[in-house]
Structure 1
Amino acid sequence: MTEEEVLAEFRAAGALLEGHFVLSSGRHSPRYLQCARVLMEPMRASRLASALCASLPREIRSQIEAVVSPAMGGVIIGHEMGRALGVEAMFVERPTGTFELRRGFALKPGQKVLLVEDVVTTGLSSREAIEAVEAAGGEVVAASALVDRSGGEADLGRPFFPLVQLNVPTYAPDEIPAELAALPAEKPGSRKAA
């Protein structure tokens, strides 16, 4: 899938939003990609996961024994990536503020894991999820995401393969341009802003 084809999927789902958004990272942006909305149609989710799977180098794909994604945003795409790769898919969640495997999910010592996200902005959630996977005994061999909003700046400490990379500006709360600050801020993500 080309970048334009991926964005066409977001547009068709009404998932490419414009306005003033507070991202999960606490940064502000004039655009927001609502991955939950683009993934709510199962065939679209399957197409995007297949494209994301195909974007992984063969040597990475051949190592993957499990997919782990962070709850909430990564659950659907993580599940679809597990299906596309033919491996188990599980997720980490934050019942007390720190990611952990729950619900009977377990990794074998040294099990090779692909971390899958919906959107990466700063990489904070991904790095925290990687720590949780490794604390549970897994080895994260690579990370992937539908969208890299970091402009290529997010360092996950692992090879990172986004389906599409967007250079949408984001701003710290004390750097918001006047035209953006004039709009009411919406918080569409799953994590409270810092």
Structure 2
Amino acid sequence: MEPSIPPDTKDWTWVLERPCPECGFVSSDVEPDMVGPTVRATVPRWVDVLGRDDVGVRPDVATWSPLEYAAHVRDVFVVFDGRLRSMVEQEDPLFADWDQDAAAAEADYAHQDPTVVARELELAGGRVAERFETLTPDLWDRPGRRSNGSVFTVRTLGQYFLHDVVHHLYDVGADEGPVL
């Protein structure tokens, strides 16, 4: 088993207020109707990442391998699909806590099969993209809350979610230009 990566304790919701200085993502440029097509545009890049010879190699002891990042993004697709669904179907839902670091350790991201991760990432990406693509503008301001008290609308949830997907392409060196 790989050594543990130090947990990411940042509250990344700040990306809703200002551009990300690392990856250049500007959340305020993203409308909910752009999220689905942008997710679809990222999926082939993630599949390409999973085909690399060094997919399982960590660049250093404190950084996930491309495989681990891809497995994380696959799970981000699933988690945010559920959160979006609850925001559309419920009044002001409270999202269950999701500890991404615990999920990575429990699912042993470092030793998953890249071919399986690619297939699962494609399926999960397609599902969350479709859910965003079926939204109508009257749903964009529906609220939801994270267990730590952060409040989102469908609009800001999409912006926050998409930053995660795009930022991790940057993390693995697969940000060959804009996806928006």
The question of a shared fold, defined as TM-score above 0.5 by the shorter chain, is answered with no
More strand by share: 1
TM-score (norm 1): 0.27
**Higher RCO structure (Cα 8 Å, ≥6 apart):** 2
